[in-house]
Amino acid sequence: MTAVGNGTQTAGRPTRLPRSARRRQLLAAAQEVFVAQGYHAAAMDDIAERAGVSKPVLYQHFPGKMELYLALLDTHCDMLVATVQEAMRGTLDNKERVSASVRAYFDFVDHESESFRLVFESDLRNDPAVRQRVERVEQGCIAAITDTIISDTGVSRAHAELLASGLVGAAETAAQFWLARGRQVPKGEAEALVAALSWRGIASFPLQGESA
């Protein structure tokens, strides 16, 4: 089995990677093993072998399989939340914000399909620590959209959160369905369809100072 990454050996001797680089290498190997085998079937031996390191090296960075799995979830959850936050900050055009939010989810499942399955289709969804992280990414995305809706429309936080949760739910569910059905609709068309559906609802709330 080949090792993840390059430069793990030089002239037959292990190369000492910087700690941050080694951590990224181990996380990449763990993701491949977890996605291929599922959490319960995966073993630390498999991950160490996939990364091309010894088990002691792996345990230097992660004390156990669960800690390694949670570190992967944190990385991908933070990435998705940051993408949605950037979608809110990237333009003042609310229609484009809706499109960018939907696009964030489709990009995530398209380019990071392994990451998406790790976060949203985990066989550990009922574990409290895993469930907390999945809820955190959903709440982080909702919060980013909620703040923008409040700032632009002046509606109450309760109303804004409900609208934001609807947008996030539609984007997440549609993107997951699109991936599961083998990307039958071209990605750009799929994004446009979901964005148009969401925008027709959001657009009924005018900007502050404008009449409905």
Q: Token pair of 134, please? A: 């999945």
Q: What percent of the chain has pLDDT over 90?
A: 39
What are the tens digits of pLDDT across the range 99-145?
A: 998 999 999 888 877 777 777 777 777 889 888 988 888 999 999 99
pLDDT surpassing 70 at residue 207: no
Per this entry, what is the length of the chain? 212
Cβ contacts of 99 within 8 Å, gap of 6 or more: 191, 192, 195, 199
User: Which CATH code for domain 72-202?
Assistant: 1.10.357.10
What totals of helices (H) and strands (E) does the chain contain, helices first?
9, 2
What pLDDT score was predicted for residue 94?
80
Indicate the fold that domain 16-63 takes in CATH: Arc Repressor Mutant, subunit A (1.10.10)
- Tell me whether domains 16-63 and 72-202 share a fold: no
**Cα 64 from chain centroid (whole Å):** 23
Domain range summary for the chain, segments of one domain joined by +: 16-63, 72-202
Read off the pLDDT band of 8 (50, 70, 90): very low
Residues paired with residue 9 on neighbouring β-strands, in sequence order: 14
Q: Token pair of 194, please? A: 């979901």
What are the tens digits of pLDDT across the range 75-84?
A: 888 988 998 9
Rounded Cα distance, 137 and 121, in Å: 14
Rounded Cα distance, 151 and 208, in Å: 8
What are the tens digits of pLDDT across the range 165-187?
A: 998 999 999 998 998 899 999 99
pTM metric for this prediction = 0.74
Residues paired with residue 10 on neighbouring β-strands, in sequence order: 13
Give 153-183 as a DSSP string.
H---HHHHHHHHHHHHHHHHHHHHHHHHTTS
**Mean pLDDT throughout 188-203?**
84
The DSSP 8-state label assigned to residue 207 in this structure reads: P
